[in-house]
Structure 1
Amino acid sequence: MFTLATWNINSVRLREGLVIRLLQEEAPDVLCLQECKSPVELIPREGFAALGYHHMVARGQKGYNGVAILSKLPLEEVAGHDFASLGHARHVAARLPNGVVIHNCYVPAGGDIPDRTQNEKFGQKLDYLTEMRDHFRDSLPQRSILVGDLNIAPREDDVWNHKQLLKIVSHTPIEVEHFNAVMEAGDWVDVTRQDIPEGRLYSWWSYRSPDWDAGDKGRRLDHVWATKDIAASAHGSRILRPVRGWEQGSDHVPVFASFDL
């Protein structure tokens, strides 16, 4: 068995201490980070290595985007795709010793206006998802896990108010349609909802909210998927809501799942 976590850290250098705290308290075998906002060579590694996380694969850029996989288990880097040719560090993939490939993804947020004619960033988001769909359709993954900040809350109970958010970027019908197309193309299973099929689940609360906890206007933007051939081995999914309250924390919280493989 191994346990995996995904977390949009919103600057790994600024929040190195929070990553170390999570590793100390929860000790996942693999931690996937998004929005690292650092060139790879400047990602702090000594503190992680001291806790047993000696392996890392990453894609980085200065002050923006960036994805990294930290692991106690050996990693073999297998890919780093620039979907939609944006020149962004948003994807990296690595293979574990058991042959399982982990894809760590950071889908573009898409700006504020859900109309590609008025908002270039929204068009880039849809194009990114389309290329993800085509990639997994053309090379159907097996024994794979996909995690990350996918910046879409697909279900009605993945947001605090479905009707109010239908025209808000991250929950619009066209985004959900693209999200589902990526899932179907890769034969992916939503592991979190496989384990927790009912009820509201959130992994993100806006910094703009004066009291995120009491207001609880969250969205489930962070996901753990597995291909159907290994999805039945997944269990123990959980979202660490209290982490949102850590001092100077990210607006996202870690999502966990374990796999018997």
Structure 2
Amino acid sequence: MTLTVCTWNINSVRLREPIVLDLLARETPDVLCLQEIKSPVEKIPTEAFTELGYGHMVARGQKAYNGVAILSRLPLEDVTDHAFCREDHARHVAAKLPGGTEIHNFYVPAGGDVPDPVENPKFAHKLDFLDRMADWGRTAKPQRSILVGDLNIAPREDDVWSHKQLLKIVSHTPIEVERLTATQNAGNWVDVTRQDIPEGLLYSWWSYRARDWDAADKGRRLDHIWATPDLAARSTGQSRVARDVRGWEKPSDHAPVFASFDIDP
């Protein structure tokens, strides 16, 4: 079977329920992973999702901040068993699909404005979170797994609109890129998006501050889909960023990212 996964920082699932429903109706991914849902689990609008065929969900919620959820047309087993956040925020949830494929959905801390862990506790928190992800990867040695989410780092020079101008801006600093690379290597993760789209500028986030985000096009690729080598080898090669969604009514500042895999049922 072909498994299509989508990851999207929605910036409030209740506020943006209409565009989540629109995306599900138009794109029909098998699994939708949402970050920054900004809602307790019991207030996520599951009834409308169920009506569209997404009757399975695992989530970790938090009032007004953070929060992650996995919506699925396929049954899910909640396998969340690891704490990555020293602040006890809702930033990770994991589920197992029929057949054994695991989905890990992350919302890495943004890190504030000052890229110095001594001066900025938020940046220190971000680096600590990445270190914990790396430690988990080394210990768990994941297989048949997909890792998605808003990782809040654009690692490559062509993942940002200007490598030179963003080198000292949080999300593209050398120390963040180094930690993200270490996290990726520790779990032997493959960046499926860049495996499928190896060349060229590619963004998934555009600031609300831009008067015309599309024309200015000062984006960053903050949203990622990784997979263990066994699944990365089964990518259908159809990864993409649904850039047009950034222009929908009352949008998130992030666009959804898609990948598909041929997996055993």
Alignment TM-score, normalising by the size of structure 1: 0.99
Point out where structure 2 has 5 or more consecutive residues left out of the alignment.
Answer: none
Structure 1 segments, 4+ long, off by >2 Å, are none
**1:192 aligned residue:** 193
* CA shift digits 1:190-218 (9 cap, x unpaired): 00000000000000000011110000000
**1:108 aligned residue:** 109
**2:160 aligned residue:** 159
2:49 partner SS? helix
1:149–1:80 CA distance, 2 compared to 1 (3 A) = farther
Range with greater deviation from structure 2 (21-30 or 75-84): 75-84
* CA-CA distance at 1:130 after TM superposition: 0.2
CA contact (8 A) 2:193 2:259 kept: yes
CA contact (8 A) 2:35 2:66 kept: yes
**1:125 aligned residue:** 126
Residue 76 of structure 1 aligns with an amino acid whose one-letter code is: E
CA contact (8 A) 2:86 2:125 kept: no
1:148 partner SS? strand
Structure 1 vs Structure 2 CA RMSD: 0.7
- 2:118 and 2:190 mapped to 1: Cα distance? 32
Mapping for residues 1-261 of structure 1, pairs under 5 Å: 1-235=2-236, 236-261=238-263
* CA-CA distance at 1:80 after TM superposition: 4.8
Range with greater deviation from structure 2 (228-237 or 213-222): 228-237
CA contact (8 A) 1:158 1:200 kept: yes
1:61 partner SS? coil
* CA-CA distance at 1:229 after TM superposition: 1.5
1:74 partner SS? coil
* CA shift digits 1:18-68 (9 cap, x unpaired): 100000000000000000000000000111000100000000010000000
CA contact (8 A) 1:59 1:80 kept: no
2:178 partner SS? helix
2:239 partner SS? strand
CA contact (8 A) 1:80 1:91 kept: no
**Residues paired across the two proteins, number:** 261
CA contact (8 A) 2:202 2:220 kept: yes
Q: What is the percent sequence identity of the aligned residues?
A: 71
- 2:50 and 2:164 mapped to 1: Cα distance? 45
- 2:83 and 2:16 mapped to 1: Cα distance? 26
* CA shift digits 1:46-105 (9 cap, x unpaired): 110001000000000100000000000000000153314211000000000020000000
